Structure 1
Amino acid sequence: MNKVAEITIYFWIIKICATTLGETAGDLLYMTLDIGYGPSSLILIGLFLITLIWQLLAKRFNPYCIGQ
């Protein structure tokens, strides 16, 4: 009943990519689309909370893998 991913080199690669994509999404919403800092933050926090709740309610760890 383990919901935690094993920490390997793949973990760190995904972590770096996620951080980079988060920064890019923030810049896209805030600067490029001129939505504003507050609304951009709320949108990204909302997406995070939706995926967090989805994972916490899961009966087992469900990594999203393209091609499966």
Structure 2
Amino acid sequence: KRYAWYDHLYMLVSMKFVLLRKENMSSFQQHLVLLASLLDNLQNCWVDLLKNKFGFDDAFNYKEEHDLDMLL
């Protein structure tokens, strides 16, 4: 069974590829933009993966939270 994060990444890649094709970028530039976008989205999927697939009660991205004392 595929997971929601996999579907999300697949849609993102296909949409980015279509958009980059229309902008007349070189193939190398297209791949760099796509790779940067994928890495960013993979980091955002970790919280969802921990909560839904691995069954953790709660999870957060410490890089995006400013007040960790309040969060904990």
TM-score, structure 1 length as denominator? Answer: 0.46
The structure with more radius of gyration: 2
TM-score, structure 2 length as denominator? Answer: 0.44
